[in-house]
A and B are shown apart, each in its own frame.
Chain A
């Protein structure tokens, strides 16, 4: 968590991933990183992807490459 949340040497550029049609795989298994960490990172990812999408406002709509975000067992509430 610390390595992810503190500034890494090469941070993930979600806008770049979107525009270059790259693939990003994130494993948020609660059994591996804990429920709280999974919920926190999941929320951060959703927000970051959304903001990266909104930042495409400076590109004409017909020139925005499609980006697919697939979430399995997506949870918005902690139990």
Chain B
């Protein structure tokens, strides 16, 4: 019903303390159809889902060819455009930096697939200084900090820390424990998320 009433000009505003108050199918319908998400806390589990949705919307809005959303800043915002370009540049640099490891690995893996343990191990080895800095910069941008220093300073005094997937081609981010170095990445399906403090080498 939530997904069908829009064209009948019936709007719905739901206010809940946490998402678990909704049954799973209703929750999916709500999160799949709402035009605006407002979360007042980033620490509750349900709010993390909302924050992740907001982040996705902002990323989509920042891309050059994405449709404009009336709820988000304009996509032609210069700073956002510059950030997008910089992020792409960093991703490209990051991929080039990781290439030697992948090449060496691929040359020895022509006969079959890599195991998950080997993948994780190689991912950790590949987490070079360049990649750490790149991931920190990306995480700072996603979280809305002006610099990586600001991100680290905020994470150091908080009970949770932003974390990001350490895979070169994945920028999945979420809130994790400050000492988390094997958080779960929903995109990769692996334990590849590291906190900002881990990436910065402070823990």
The interface residues of chain A lying within 8 Å CB-to-CB of B13 are 68-71
The interface residues of chain B lying within 8 Å CB-to-CB of A18 are 10
- The closest CB in chain A to the CB of B15 belongs to A72
Say what secondary structure dominates the interface of chain A: mixed
**B12 interfacial contact with A, CB 8 Å:** yes
Task: Report how far A68 CA is from B11 CA in the complex, Å.
Answer: 5
Docked complex: A61-79 residues within 8 A CB-CB of B: 61, 64-77
**B7 interfacial contact with A, CB 8 Å:** yes
The interface residues of chain B lying within 8 Å CB-to-CB of A77 are 21-23
Over the window 5-22 of chain B, the binary record of Cβ atoms lying under 8 Å from chain A Cβ atoms (1 yes, 0 no) is: 101111111111100011
Number of interface residues of B (CB under 8 A): 18
The answer to whether A76 touches B11, judged by C-beta atoms less than 8 angstroms apart, is: no
Q: Which of B11, B21, B23 contacts A73 (CB 8 A)?
A: B21
Task: Report how far A51 CA is from B17 CA in the complex, Å.
Answer: 27
The answer to whether B9 touches A74, judged by C-beta atoms less than 8 angstroms apart, is: no
Q: What are 20 of the A-B contact pairs (CB < 8 Å)?
A: A18-B10, A49-B10, A50-B5, A54-B4, A54-B8, A56-B10, A61-B9, A64-B8, A64-B9, A66-B9, A67-B11, A68-B11, A69-B10, A69-B11, A71-B14, A73-B15, A73-B16, A76-B22, A76-B23, A77-B23
